[in-house]
Amino acid sequence: MQVVERITTQGGVSELLLLLDRTAAAIETQTATAEQVSSALEQARVFFRLFADTLARLARAPIAELYAEIRQHEQQRLLTNLDRLVRLVAATYPQLEPLGHETVTEAQRYDRYLGAAADRIVAEGGAARAFDVLTPETWRTAAIHAPWEELAAVAAALVFDAPGVVVQAQDIVAAVEEWRPRGRGRELPPEPDVPAGPDPLEQRRAMRSARRQRLGRQVGSLLQDRTATDITGVLRGGPWRAASAMLANLLEADRDPEVPAVVEIGDGLLADPGLDVAWCSTPVLLSWSPVPAETPKVSTAEAEQVEP
């Protein structure tokens, strides 16, 4: 009787798993005799028969007791390990194949009773909302890992009373009024003291306009009636200071979007130690872009005197 009790507990399941694993490993390493394998199969058959008889006896027991019983079983591991062992027996010891078949038959009987017990627990426990059937840890695991659709279906048929109103509408309005952010009045900064006299910004604009006009006249004096010209010779023919000032003015005109002048400096180099401008890039092309309708004409000397 003690042997039966031991087999039909969690220890019995663990013992059967160990028996199946050890026997399969011994066959694979060729360390098991036919007698040892036959004895192991007979023990496994007894295990499965006792498991099935226990489940059959508890078929009409309270679902809490039935659930406590099936929680001890590792059905999938037992059947998987048995299948592995029976295949090894059939391949290594063909004479033991009938005993293996009997063991599989008892395992299938055990599987049917275990499945029927699980179906009964799900059906009756779910209909009765018997939440105490499962352990608190099982419910906790389901609440964390189960899909939300399955969790919602648990209470789909339950009827709940509408909750009472805890906060009245006027309380919400009063709270909003009390905690509404208070707006801060914005103060304008004091007006600065403007010194008497002409507007410095207007003076700056006038100076810039005059500067653009002088640059335009200088470009026009060099181009005359042409749209483009090479001014390399003009730069080389004058003093160094005048040539550098002219080139600086023309580059400023090129950068100013209000002065339609374009300066292009080539990669060539002219050198003559006898000239004041001893070296000069070539070509230095000057052009209008676009060509202005009317360009003021000034002399070359006046163009060279445009102040930077």
For the chain, which residues make up each domain, given as ranges?
Answer: 2-130, 210-304
Instruction: Give the per-residue SS3 of the chain.
Output: CHHHHHHCCHHHHHHHHHHHHHHHHHHHCCCCCHHHHHHHHHHHHHHHHHHHHHHHHCCCCCHHHHHHHHCCCCHHHHHHHHHHHHHHHHHHCHHHHHHHHHHHHHHHHHHHHHHHHHHHHHHHHHHCCCHHHCCHHHHHHHHHHCCHHHHHHHCCCCCCCCCCCCCCHHHHHHHHHHHCCCCCCCCCCCCCCCCCCCCHHHHHHHHHHHHHHHHHHHHHHHHCCCCEEECHHHHHHCCHHHHHHHHHHHHHHHHCCCCCEEEEEEEEEEECCCCCCCEEEEEEEEEECCCCCCCCCCCHHHHHCCCC
Confidence label for 7 from pLDDT (cuts 50, 70 and 90): very low
Q: What pLDDT is recorded for position 293?
A: 46
Rounded average pLDDT over 92-102: 93
pLDDT at 89: 93
Asked whether 262 and 290 are in contact (CB, 8 A), the reply is no
- Give mean pLDDT, residues 106-133: 79
Average pLDDT over residues 53-69: 80
How far out from the chain centre does Cα 272 lie?
Answer: 67
* Span 153-196, pLDDT tens digits: 877 777 777 777 778 888 888 888 888 777 777 778 888 887 77
Residue 110 has pLDDT above 70, yes or no: yes
Whether 304 shows a pLDDT value over 60: the answer reads no
pLDDT (average), residues 42-69: 85
240 pLDDT more than 60: yes
Please name the residue that has the structure tokens 């001890």: 72
